[in-house]
Amino acid sequence: MHAVDDMDRKLLRILQDDPDLSTARLAEEVGLSAGACWRRIERMEAAGIIRGRETVINWRALGYEVEVYLRITLDKTETNAFDSFIRAARDVPEVTRLETLLGRVDIRMDIRARDLAHYQEIYKDRILTLPHILDIEALMLVSELKHSESLPI
Amino acid sequence: MSDDGARIDLDETDRKILRELLRDGSLAAGAVGRRVGLSQPAAWRRIKRLEAAGVILGRRLVLDREKLGFGVTVFLGVKLAARGRVSLEDFERAVAAIPEVQIVQHVLGVYDYRLRVVARDLADFERILRRRIMTLPGVGDVESNVLLSVEKDAPGLV
């Protein structure tokens, strides 16, 4: 494992808050030369510690008003329940995220739809037809108060 | 993040730009332009327009949690105990201020709130749960599900 030191952590903390900060400004803030700062960032990118940057999109502005999180319990008496469920669910384009969990439910997935009618259509035609479902619980997003990828480093 | 930006008309080129930026958020305007067949200034202007219209909200740094020592991600479903008697704002402000809590969503369904929490290990998670989450004003029933694997992470249809 690649070790990060206090200076690396400082750089990451600043970049987490402001990912668009230029290397020159970043260097200034931590008191490094621009070259030294750039090399540290490069090293953390090469080591896969910094995986990249992601664009944050306002899906509502694009006409996607509905976001639903489905929590699914699978019929585990079926030997291949997980594999065949995941394979089929992955192919549903409106499923944006699919995760396996340890807890009361087995699977969690995110669905994004244009409106409730569209969601209902996806649910009926593409979700309920997935294999080995025992139970489904739905949580519908009302508002998002915090969404950060920042780590408490 | 749920602010409704003014709906703007997007053409196919805008959609292509968004798809490229969703695939790789570190692309500069010049690189985006090359991929969609626009000059750097033309791509830059379109990206600025998408930002001004509130379609692009910004960028996030993506770090490798495990390499930085955060081995555990837990989803919590939280029910508030005494509806009406606790202020939602108090709960929301307090929970959003916890650094280990990355996502706070107000939801409709069997829970009132959905949280995503990162922790170094299960012992660290237990500490966060007991000392920081269970002590929040108004917290009732809490259900934890530990993330085992991410099987799909697609940006969505543009």
* Residues B24, A80 contacting (CB under 8 angstroms): no
Pairwise CB contact (< 8 Å): A98 & B145 = no
Burial of B68 (0-12, 13-18, 19+ CB in 10 A): buried
**Chain A neighbours among B 61-80 (CB < 8 Å)?**
61-65, 67-68, 70, 75, 77
pLDDT bucket at B1, cuts 50 / 70 / 90? very low
Q: What ipTM describes this predicted complex?
A: 0.88
Pairwise CB contact (< 8 Å): A146 & B96 = yes
Out of 3.40.50.1980, 3.40.190.10, 1.10.10.10, 1.10.1740.10, the CATH code matching A7-46 is 1.10.10.10
Out of 3.40.120.10, 3.40.50.300, 1.10.10.10, 3.40.228.10, the CATH code matching B12-52 is 1.10.10.10
pLDDT bucket at B2, cuts 50 / 70 / 90? very low
Q: Percentage of residues in chain A with pLDDT exceeding 70?
A: 99
Which of A49, A63, A146 faces B103 most closely, judged by CB atoms? A146
pLDDT in tens, B97-122: 999 999 999 999 999 999 999 999 99
Write out B57-126 in H/E/C secondary structure: EEEEEEECCHHHCCCEEEEEEEEECCCCCCCHHHHHHHHHCCCCEEEEEEEECCCCEEEEEEECCHHHHH
Question: Where do the domains of chain A lie?
Answer: 7-46, 59-140
The tokens 């079926």 sit on which residue?
A78
Mean pLDDT of B109-136: 95
Find out if CATH 3.40.228.10 is the number for domain B66-146: no
Whether residue A117 is predicted with pLDDT greater than 50 in this model: the reply is yes
Whether residue B14 is predicted with pLDDT greater than 90 in this model: the reply is yes
Among candidate residues B73, B145, B140, B57, the one with its CA nearest the CA of residue A144: B57
Q: Percentage of residues in chain B with pLDDT exceeding 70?
A: 92
Q: Percentage of residues in chain A with pLDDT exceeding 90?
A: 84
Mean pLDDT of B76-101: 86
Which of A47, A57, A141 faces B107 most closely, judged by CB atoms? A141
Number of residues in chain B: 158
pLDDT in tens, A64-94: 999 999 999 999 898 899 999 999 999 999 9
Beta strand B139-153 pairing with A95-102: antiparallel
pLDDT bucket at B86, cuts 50 / 70 / 90? low
The tokens 């995760």 sit on which residue?
A99
pLDDT in tens, A22-61: 899 999 999 999 999 999 999 999 999 999 999 999 998 8
Minimal C-alpha gap between B117 and chain A (Å):
10
Among B62-66, B117-121, B138-142, B152-156, which stretch is predicted with the lowest mean pLDDT? B152-156
Question: Where do the domains of chain B lie?
Answer: 12-52, 66-146
Angle among Cα B1, B6, B12 to the nearest 5 degrees reads: 100
Please give the residue that has the higher pLDDT: either B137 or A112.
Answer: A112
Mutate to test the interface with A, among B12, B18, B22, B63 (most CBs of A within 10 A): B63
- pLDDT at position A78 is 86
- Which CATH class, in words, describes the domain spanning A59-140? alpha beta
pLDDT bucket at A107, cuts 50 / 70 / 90? very high
Burial of B2 (0-12, 13-18, 19+ CB in 10 A): middle
